[in-house]
Structure 1
Amino acid sequence: MMPSARFPVSVTLLRRLAYASIIANVGIVVTGGAVRLTASGLGCPTWPRCTDGSYTTTPEMGVHGMIEFGNRLLTFAVGIIALAVLLGILTHRVRPRGVLSLAVAVFLGIPAQAVIGGITVLTHLNPWVVGLHFLASMVVIAAAYALWRRIAEPDGPAVPTVPAPLRALALFTTLVSAAVLVVGTWVTGSGPHAGDQGAARNGLDPEAISQVHADGVFLLIGLSVALVFAFRAVGATRAARAAVVLVAVELSQGLIGFVQYFTHLPAVLVAAHMLGSCLVLLATLAVLWSTRERRPADPAVGAVAAGQRVTVAA
């Protein structure tokens, strides 16, 4: 069976659904931030119910209950999109390796996120658990991105598009990006936006841990700029473009971070910074993905498949 038969015409729909899954998972990170920034983290004071006697919010709980319960409802919307992607993939008897595993990981990651969210409530917004909740979202977003990219790829071997040292540098940059995200949760856990007035903080010195975070950001930007010049030097145009986008996203995120720090963390900038964290992750993964490509195992089959895709598009 030719590779094009793996995903017939509906490959376009599957990619759109996978893309929607990325957007939905980023969106729930931002709405989750809104819960914390409006001090609605304990708007529903228990889990899995909203109150001891109700799964839904009650009028007595006011706006905070509505905000927290609304965010819980969004989890179902994100899960429905992930389920649609998974079911779409299952309809195809033959599919690229790894696609089904990624779809299952994204789908199962959402209820896992809900459980971690429930633990944050049951531990009265313990800052370390809240940080884990955010980082788990980053893992699901990364899996959703990999799924989106993998769906349309041929099933041949992955071939590097840049020399091995530059691929290693891109991988190291990805690890530094992940470390910056982790330290960012420590900064958040030491700051004023706890999600509830009575929630504890992690006890770290806000200024000291913010400096550590800033140092990591400087390292990340430096590595990303180095990737731009290195990719251009070896003629890797696609990788260089991805690195330029990464630098632009990092500079924007860094600007938001500095402004929010010196303006005493206004809620709107903190929310923008959370969105920026997701965009930095996605831009970093785009750079890593650009350092390799998959080619059809049989070039002649690949040419036929490409011609069929053009015919379908027409």
Structure 2
Amino acid sequence: MTGVRFLPLRPLALASLVANIALIVTGAAVRLTGSGLGCPTWPRCTDESYTTTAEMGVHGVIEFGNRLLTFALGIIAVACVVAALLERPRRRSRVLLSVAVLFYIPLQAVIGGITVLTNLNPWVVGLHFLVSIVIIAFAYALWRRSAEGDGPPVPLVPRPVNHLAWVLTAASAAVIALGVVVTGSGPHAGDLDAKRNGLDPATASQAHADVVFLLIGLTVALIFALRAIQAPSTTVRAAIVLLVVELAQGLIGFVQYFTHLPVVLVGIHMLGSALVWTSTLAVVWSLRSRPLEPATPAAQPAVPLPTAAEEPIATSR
């Protein structure tokens, strides 16, 4: 039984994933346009108004627009929870994942408010970004689980290859975290008066680049390992897509560094970080399958008893 769905969970989960990636892009726009304090207080936009005013200009519009997107994310997350609860039969894992996404969205909003109240402290701003990465992981998991069945997961690769993929995932997370540190040391603070984290940008960038090279090396190793064991084509394809995204992201990173961080390239690079993370998750999920229906033992055909006509005739020697 595939179950009755009163609300389409899978497209709602995909909408949640896309919207949370979009939040990273709009957050980048806030920082790169110097609109981080476009609404100088929180939860209100001004001391008297929850919305932007004409006097606040374009910076207020950009910051307030980013805040409005949070409400859209919350509405989609609530819809996902309702859809998961109304499924028949109800899947516990889908309910828990949808609730996790919903839980982190107001937490993300509170951290966003703290960034404003701390005048864009770079460490708080970095935490604000990393929470988005966590939400994307839960939203992606919900999207994938919404198309899977209730059977136990079936591994598609040997355990050592699976371990290599998890090491790759840890490296991908480290690349993103170090990218946050690099951003906190760079010039795009979100406001002219915002402080930086005090680290040397060149040193932070070199550490970030070193881990990027490690990530690319691990991805190449995984591709060769998957081909050597003749893994399913979908698994190999996911690893190749990840490598392509990593190379594109690395190229953008080098170009933006040597062209003194133009805002357009920095914004694309932030979008690329979300795509690298999503592609990494795709590799992890491609390493196993979960059948749509639990496996049931095949019925054994009944063995007919021999009839009298078929009974062997005793012969004498």
TM-score where L is the length of structure 1: 0.92
Q: Which residue of 2 aligns with 1:191?
A: 186
Q: Deviations over 1:216-244 (max 9, x none)?
A: 00000000011111001111122111100
Aligned residue type for 1:250: E
Aligned pairs for 1:11-26 within 5 A: 13-26=8-21
How big is the shift at 1:18? 0.7
* Distance 1:299-1:235 versus aligned 2 partners, 3 A rule: farther
Structure 1 CA distance for aligned equivalents of residues 17 and 195 of structure 2:
31
CA separation in 1, counterparts of 2:227 and 2:296?
A: 28
Corresponding residue number in structure 2 for 1:131: 126
Q: Deviations over 1:233-276 (max 9, x none)?
A: 11112211110000000000001000000000000000000100
Residue 256 of structure 1 pairs with residue 237 of structure 2: no
In the TM superposition, residue 86 of structure 1 has moved relative to its aligned partner by 1.2
Aligned residue number for residue 283 of structure 1: 279
Partner of 1:172: 167
| Residue of structure 1 in register with 2:45 after alignment | 50
Match of 2:294 among 284, 293, 297: 297
Taking the aligned partners of 1:9 and 1:79, their CA distance within structure 2 comes to: 21
The 1-side partners of 2:57 and 2:148 are apart by 49
State the identity as a percent. Answer: 66
Query: Equivalents in 1 of 2:5, 2:107: separation in Å?
Result: 33
Which of 292-301 and 279-288 deviates more? 292-301
Q: Judge conservation of contact 1:42–1:121 (CA < 8 Å) in 2.
A: yes
Match of 1:231 in 2: 226
Provide runs of 4+ in structure 1 moved above 4 Å.
none
* Contact 1:126 1:201 (8 Å CA) reproduced: yes
Which residue is equivalent to 1:100? 95
User: Which residue does the alignment assign to 2:157?
Assistant: 162
Uncovered stretches (5+) of structure 2, i.e. residues with no partner: 299-317
| Residue among 121, 144, 149 paired with 2:144 | 149
1:17-36 matches, cutoff 5 A: 17-36=12-31
Deviates more, 1:151-160 or 1:130-139: 151-160
Task: Provide the rounded CA distance (Å) in 1 between the counterparts of 2:88 and 2:13.
Answer: 19
The structure with the largest alpha-carbon Rg is 2
Name the residue aligned to 1:305. none
Residue of 211, 224, 243 corresponding to 2:239 = 243
- State the 1:93 CA deviation: 4.3
Whether contact under 8 Å (2:5, 2:87) holds in the other structure is no
Whether the aligned pair in 1 keeps the contact of 2:153 and 2:289 (CA below 8 Å) is yes
The unaligned stretches of length 5 or more in structure 1 are 302-314
Partner of 1:213: 208
What is the root-mean-square deviation in Å for CA atoms of aligned residues? 1.3
What is the CA deviation profile of residues 277-306 of structure 1, one whole-angstrom value per residue up to 9, with x for unaligned ones? 0000010011111111113322479xxxxx
Q: When the two structures are aligned, how many residues end up with a matched partner?
A: 296
CA distance in 1, matches of 2:112, 2:120: 9
The verdict on how the C-alpha distance between 1:99 and 1:9 changes in structure 2, with shifts beyond 3 A counting, is closer
- Greater fraction helix: 1
2:6–2:86 CA contact under 8 A, matched in 1: no
